Amino acid sequence: MVLIMNNEMTYKKLVDVYEALDATTKRLEKTSILAEFLESLDVETLPIVTLLALGRVFPTWSEEELGIGAKLLMKAIATIVGVNIEDVEDEMRDAGDVGLAAEELFRNRRQQTFFSKPLTVNMVYNNLRKIAGISGSRAQSRKMEILKELFSSASPLEAKYIARTVLEELRVGVGDGTIKDAVAEAFNVQKEVVERAHMLTNDIGLVAKVAMREGEAGLGKLTLEPGKPVKPMLAQLSEDIKTSIMDMGWAICETKYDGIRVQIHKKGDEILIFTRRLENIGLAVPDIREYIEQSLPSQDFVVEGEIIVTEEGKPISFQYILQRIRRKYEIERMREEVPLTLYLFDVLYYDKPLIDTPFERRRKILESIVKIKKDKLELSTKVKVTSENIEEAEKLFNMSIEKGHEGIMIKDPYAPYIPGIRGKKMLKYKAEPETLDLVVVGGTYGKGKRAHFIGSYLVAVKDEDDNLKTIAHVATGLDDKTLFELSAKVQKLVIKRVGRQVEAKPKIVLEVAYSEIVKSPEYESGYSLRFPVLKGIREDKSVDDIDTVDRIESMFKS
């Protein structure tokens, strides 16, 4: 029997907090529960708990992952409780959640483990991290052994949350916003200071640790570092080019490219290429890494741009880019078949953080450090526009559309870079109507020949507490091949089925066009979309990137 060191916190204490969080729907209550718990932790356990409270073992931008699917997890549970895997599957279907299924099975387990050691927070966290490092021969069986070790010592409630953590589906209603508010409350620092520190580091564990040790003074010293991506600055919709430029005084206008937005970090000899979802896709795009090595300096930097696919000088479907970033094999062949071009438009770090530097200055720095490689790595096309030459922006817009791009960006030259914020300092003006990014939460199977695949998708936005609120059913827009692929993806995520209706885990983000936003009691958001059309699957975006009820309300009013 292994003894627990006096300073190690039992996992049961964290599980009790999970249960308390799950027992309330009120965000302020969740914040207070978390704040009180965080305040009680030692400085080493604190950053671990901030991750586990989000249902994660690694930050979103980390390349490390557990690599454990539902099947392997259910097999481990079945082995420990002494049932068949089919019994676990049946229980999961009835409960609609692997955690609740694990809890029920552990309450009625046939096999008891004697001399098991009490679980600690560190034990659970470190063992799960150990799983991520396992590869090569017998990797799955070695991962199974660690899972079985954890489950063999777990109570029913502990099994519930271990299972959920493994699949990163904690289900206690805590998002980044709640954690940040709890850190501010626990260590008596202003929310705005915590928000900025997290915005610049994208590391809530580090923010919590510094808040505990050094307070606001320490948080104020945290800043952007190469190697840790930050959420991209977001653009609002411009309804009129002239009005937007006049409101800014003058503007820098750039072509808006329809591709995958990337944030590129050079740290030492490493080049990391992150998507909007903060996933590192560097291995899938070796050509882009080569262009960066050839066109930018050898010192550390963070630049931002858009990767597009061109054919005969014109951009082609966004789906072709997805073929490249999803590719794990035959990358060199795909490199020839799907050539990529990178357009850079901003720099966030060079010699020092440039987050607070005005955009006009950042653009000049970018231009000074980039060597253009025609059709491989270029700078975004731009013009300076004042009230005296508005026609230059209109010319750029028309030229961009003629070349097959989406439209133009209108940027305030004095604006700092504000990660994760959608504001009026950066606007987009597009030829096509604005679209929404929505997450699939359910669907309806078709009839007749289409009875075996989902033909209509229930989609949702998120509210200020990160709760998902339905807004529409989408059934048209994609060709049969893409719809079949989408149906297969959603079927893997189904957690409940009643007749033809299904409920799905919120993982898949869709780009949806529409003719109008209308008020509607039919959907949880209070709004609905008239004539919604599916434009594409946004594999470069996560549920964190979807549109919000606030934005829907704003668009409805305008």
Torsion-angle region of residue 417: left (phi > 0), alpha (psi -120 to 50) or beta?
Answer: beta
Backbone angles phi, psi at 49, to 5 degrees: -65, -35
Residue 5 has pLDDT above 50, yes or no: no
Task: Name 355's Cβ contacts closer than 8 Å, sequence gap at least 6.
Answer: 200, 223, 224, 348, 416, 417, 419
DSSP annotation string for 418-465: -TT-EEEEEEEEESSPP-EEEEEEEEEE-SGGGTTSEEEEEEEEE-TT
Q: What pLDDT, on the 0 to 100 scale, is given for residue 321?
A: 73
Over residues 217-226, the pLDDT tens digits come to: 999 999 999 9
The closest alpha carbon to 165, from 97, 232, 221, 84, belongs to: 97
Instruction: Measure the CA–CA gap between 555 and 461, rounded to whole angstroms.
Output: 13
How far is C-alpha 17 from the chain's CA centre?
Answer: 25
Instruction: Measure the CA–CA gap between 427 and 406, rounded to whole angstroms.
Output: 13
Q: Is 395 a catalytic residue?
A: no
Residue 493 has pLDDT above 60, yes or no: yes
CA distances from 13 to 39, 118, 150, 164, 225 (A): 14, 12, 16, 17, 34
Instruction: Measure the CA–CA gap between 384 and 359, rounded to whole angstroms.
Output: 12
What domains sit in the chain, N to C, each tagged with a CATH number?
A: 234-430 (3.30.470.30), 436-557 (2.40.50.140)
Residues of 237-275 as b/e, b for ≥16 C-beta within 10 angstroms?
bbeebeebbeebebbbbbbbbbbbbbbbbbeeeebbbbb
Instruction: Measure the CA–CA gap between 522 and 519, rounded to whole angstroms.
Output: 9
Residue 485 has pLDDT above 70, yes or no: yes
- Give me 440's structure tokens: 């699939």
Instruction: Measure the CA–CA gap between 201 and 229, rounded to whole angstroms.
Output: 8
Q: What pLDDT, on the 0 to 100 scale, is given for residue 110?
A: 64
Mean pLDDT of 460-468: 88
Whether residue 15 contacts residue 161, with contact meaning beta carbons closer than 8 Å, is answered with yes
Q: What pLDDT, on the 0 to 100 scale, is given for residue 557?
A: 81
Confidence of residue 313 (pLDDT cuts 50, 70, 90): low
- Give me 453's structure tokens: 């695949």
Task: Name 303's Cβ contacts closer than 8 Å, sequence gap at least 6.
Answer: 263, 264, 296, 344, 346, 347, 348, 366
Q: What pLDDT, on the 0 to 100 scale, is given for residue 350?
A: 97
How far is C-alpha 366 from the chain's CA centre?
Answer: 27
- Give me 446's structure tokens: 């078709």
Torsion-angle region of residue 292: left (phi > 0), alpha (psi -120 to 50) or beta?
Answer: alpha
Angle in degrees, CA 456, 549, 205, rounded to 5: 105
Whether residue 198 contacts residue 211, with contact meaning beta carbons closer than 8 Å, is answered with no
Over residues 69-115, the pLDDT tens digits come to: 888 999 999 999 999 999 998 888 888 788 999 999 999 886 665 55
Backbone angles phi, psi at 274, to 5 degrees: -105, 140
Considering the chain, what is the average pLDDT of its residues?
A: 90
Torsion-angle region of residue 195: left (phi > 0), alpha (psi -120 to 50) or beta?
Answer: alpha
Instruction: Measure the CA–CA gap between 208 and 223, rounded to whole angstroms.
Output: 14
Neighbouring-strand partners of residue 379: 344
Task: Name 446's Cβ contacts closer than 8 Å, sequence gap at least 6.
Answer: 452, 453, 454, 455, 456
- H or E element: which one contains 192? helix 191-201
Residues of 341-373 as b/e, b for ≥16 C-beta within 10 angstroms?
bbbbbbbbbbeebbbebebbebbebbeebbeee
Query: Which three-class secondary structure state does DSSP give residue 172?
Result: coil
Residue 455 has pLDDT above 90, yes or no: no
Residue 318 has pLDDT above 90, yes or no: no
Instruction: Measure the CA–CA gap between 532 and 513, rounded to whole angstroms.
Output: 6
pTM above 0.85, yes or no: no
- Give me 519's structure tokens: 């008020």
Mean pLDDT of 37-41: 96
Q: What is the 3-state secondary structure (H, E, C) of 2-13?
A: CCCCCCCCEHHH
Confidence of residue 4 (pLDDT cuts 50, 70, 90): very low
Over residues 373-402, the pLDDT tens digits come to: 998 999 999 999 999 999 999 999 999 999
The closest alpha carbon to 262, from 381, 150, 344, belongs to: 344
Q: What pLDDT, on the 0 to 100 scale, is given for residue 1?
A: 32
% helix, strand, coil for the chain, step of 5? 40, 25, 35
Pairing status of strand 422-430 against strand 527-530: unpaired
Over residues 60-69, the pLDDT tens digits come to: 888 788 888 8
- Give me 497's structure tokens: 């089925």
> How large a percentage of the chain has pLDDT more than 90?
64
Catalytic residue among 75, 160, 228, 256: 256
Q: To the nearest 10°, the Cα dihedral for 340, 512, 541, 22?
A: -170
Mean pLDDT of 348-356: 96
